[in-house]
Amino acid sequence: MKQASNKEHLAGTVERVTYHNPENGFVVLRIKIKNHKDLITVIGNTPSISPGEYIKCSGIWQNDRIHGKQFKADFLKSLPPDTLEGIEKYLGSGLIKGIGAYFAKKLITAFGDKVFEVIETQPELLSSVDGIGVIRAQNICANWQDQKIIREIMIFLQSHGVGTTRATKIYKTYGEQAIEVVSQNPYQLAKDIRGIGFISADTIAANLGIAKNSLIRATAGVAHILLEATANGHCGLPLTTLIDNSQKLLDLENNLIELAIQTEITAGTLIHDTINNIDSIFLNSYYLYEKNIAKLLLTLAKQNIPWEKIDATKTIPWVEQQLNIKLAENQKEAIAQALSTKVLVITGGPGTGKTTLVNAILKILLTNKLRIKLCAPTGRAAKRLSESSGFEALTIHRLLEIDHKHGGFKHNEQCTLPCDYLVIDETSMVDVPLFYSLLRALPKNVALLLVGDVDQLPSVGPGQVLSDIINSAAIPTVKLTEIFRQAASSNIITTAHRVNNGIIPNLQFTKEESDFYFIEAEQGDDITNKIINLVKERIPKKFNLHPVNDIQILCPMQRGGVGVRSLNIELQQALNPNYNSGIVKFGQTFSLGDKIMQTENNYDKETYNGDIGIINNINEQEQEVTINFYNRNVIYDYTDLDQITLAYATTIHKSQGSEYPAVIIPLTMQSFMMLKRNLIYTAITRGKKLVIIIGEKKALAIAVKDNKTSHRHSKLKEWLAISLN
């Protein structure tokens, strides 16, 4: 009773939104209250809030040791502003795309407190305002309506126990039917919208009254487990694993889960088969990807080569003279095999001559006037391939060309690539869906060369394409092992090979100008401060490298003191003088000059998972951010910014296929679960001129000794091996 008597009520205008977490609705506001000279700090929860709005709230006063006196609201309701000052602030807050502070003032001057009514019922009047043309007026009205619906969706979602970060995406996906779709089948969200997982959908379902033991929930849970498995690299799961994981997630009896699985098998969305004689369940699409990859690859390998027979004994001395090189014996054998084989794999570590070998093969085949194309999984890998070969190299996505009208790729079985010889570099990075898309776009006469380092991390996406192809023994493979003399002088390369062989690298180099260093540092402020000093001062000064463009931090993990998230915040503040004047979206601050990474494939923008860019413009009035990717400007709406993340630091997994002038790898026991040999090997081989491992020697030793790679459930090797039986 005492607490109730202490409760007070406040009402006022929002002057500033100091902080708002769209995920849980927590907000810190500065509000203007009648008869109060100073602004009042209010903390509470609301799904959406903007400056200028009028709020009513109830709660208690408290004195925070750091922030001082503030009002803690247990109830907070926002209303449209009703004063001219409030309306102007509201319109100028950037909430409505197309209206910034400049046009907000003009609209208030023209329409006064009737401005909302004009936008709603007489939008044609907007174009009478100086500077607001017909198109801008139409956009303002459309965005006004969008915001109304988005706010309704936000309130609906939060009232059903889920955060509202993805409310805009829900609206983009379903439009005005969003609430209807969510109400009828909330589990559809987990299927259709990235970032809304099963747990969030399940929370909504429970609040909507969907029974815990309903079949719709069980089938949705099973699908979620299998989708999560693909995110971890699997193409299917053993049946017992799927049942166990589903039981833990859903807390249901096994018989209901088994019924759900059987229901989906009958419907054709799941497939029951075996992996190494173990009963397994696959999502239909991933099962067919692997099966069809094997079929297409084996069919291709049996066709005739698209050139006249070439005498390797005569051609090899000629190409050595043309390129002014001396080929090793296994390189000569590889060339001979490449000239007589339709599909060939070349694998090997750094410094073993893969690039030289590919260039020699291309030089020879050019004399036959073949149409040659080169590709790689990422933009950086394609750029590196282009520079090393002298040929244009594209990403696989750009090679296949996105079909924006119909979805998928323009090149497929009906429209094959105009190509006689195709080189795919960094093949270890290519996942099952992308490799299938590429193979189905190849003409029957094309010859294929797959190049990659099989000892690196497998693809971020599902499958282990290169490893399965090599281990099946169905496709001819050349493994390069000899380290060339020039490469052997690099401590980066010799260290990488030592790590790959399970040998602790030499951490006491005596060479003054080494390209590999180990710096000991303790967890906490010590390692963070040393990393910042290396990036900001020591490396630029000693090696003349740019702290943002040339240096990349590669972390084993996202979380933790030296994880990606923490280091990005620290490095943003240390390296970007504009960090204080950025915009806060989806829990991150983005500022002019920030280094960012695309985190998912966006086919409309032609930006792909792992692409790195620099923010070169923020337009708060139009709610747009311009990002430069590899000398190409791409415009992002504010609502699309959940697709990007700061990239001063990134995970080692995300760095696959990329190469950087300088790499810093923080290693501590905090990352114990991730400390694997192939992880460290991959990180070291990303550095071109300089690699620094910083942290604890014990962590490095554990990583080097642990050669247990994460097992992936895939059937491609079996499909390919069928041809040998």
CA-based nearest residue to 187, from 204, 168, 172, 173: 204
- 493-512 burial string, b = 16+ CB within 10 Å, else e? bbbbbbbbeeeebeeeeeee
Q: Residue count of the chain, please give it.
A: 725
3-state secondary structure of 339: coil
- Joined together, the tokens standing for residue 349 give 């570590």
CA separation (Å) from 267 to 218, 219, 260, 263?
15, 11, 11, 6
Instruction: Report how far residue 662's alpha carbon sits from residue 678's, in angstroms, rounded to the nearest whole number.
Output: 19
Residues β-bridged to residue 73: 59
Under a CB-based contact definition with an 8 Å cutoff, are residues 297 and 443 in contact? no
Instruction: Report how far residue 384's alpha carbon sits from residue 372's, in angstroms, rounded to the nearest whole number.
Output: 17
Torsion 511-687-458-476 (CA) sign: negative
- Could you list the residues known to form a binding site, using ranges: 351-355
- Could you list the residues known to form a binding site for ATP, using ranges: 351-355
- Tell me the residue type at 181: V
What's phi and psi for 723, nearest 5 deg?
Answer: -65, -20
The distance between the two most distant Cα atoms of the chain, rounded to a whole number of Å, is 99
Instruction: Report how far residue 3's alpha carbon sits from residue 7's, in angstroms, rounded to the nearest whole number.
Output: 7
Rounded to the nearest 10 degrees, how much is the dihedral formed by the CA atoms of 153, 158, 162, 167? 30
What's phi and psi for 196, nearest 5 deg?
Answer: -105, 105
Instruction: Report how far residue 638's alpha carbon sits from residue 620's, in angstroms, rounded to the nearest whole number.
Output: 9
- Joined together, the tokens standing for residue 713 give 């459930």
CA separation (Å) from 24 to 14, 153, 558, 713?
20, 14, 21, 36
Helix axis angle, 379-389 to 354-366, nearest 10°: 60
Q: SS3 helix, strand, coil % of the chain, rounded to 5? A: 45, 20, 35
DSSP state of 390: S
Q: How many CA atoms lie within 13 A of 4 on its CB side?
A: 1
Looking up tokens 């590669």 gives 554
**Terminal Cα-to-Cα distance of the chain (whole angstroms):** 81
**Using DSSP, how many helices (H) and how many strands (E) does the chain show?**
28, 26
Q: In 10 A of CB 41, how many CB atoms? A: 18
**Which run of H or E residues covers position 692?**
strand 687-695
Instruction: Report how far residue 42's alpha carbon sits from residue 27's, in angstroms, rounded to the nearest whole number.
Output: 8
Residues β-bridged to residue 601: none
Under a CB-based contact definition with an 8 Å cutoff, are residues 535 and 389 in contact? no
Round the CA-based radius of gyration of the chain to a whole number and report it. Answer: 29
Q: In 10 A of CB 253, how many CB atoms? A: 12
Q: What is the DSSP annotation of 49-84?
A: --TT-EEEEEEEEEEETTTEEEEEEEEEEEE---SH
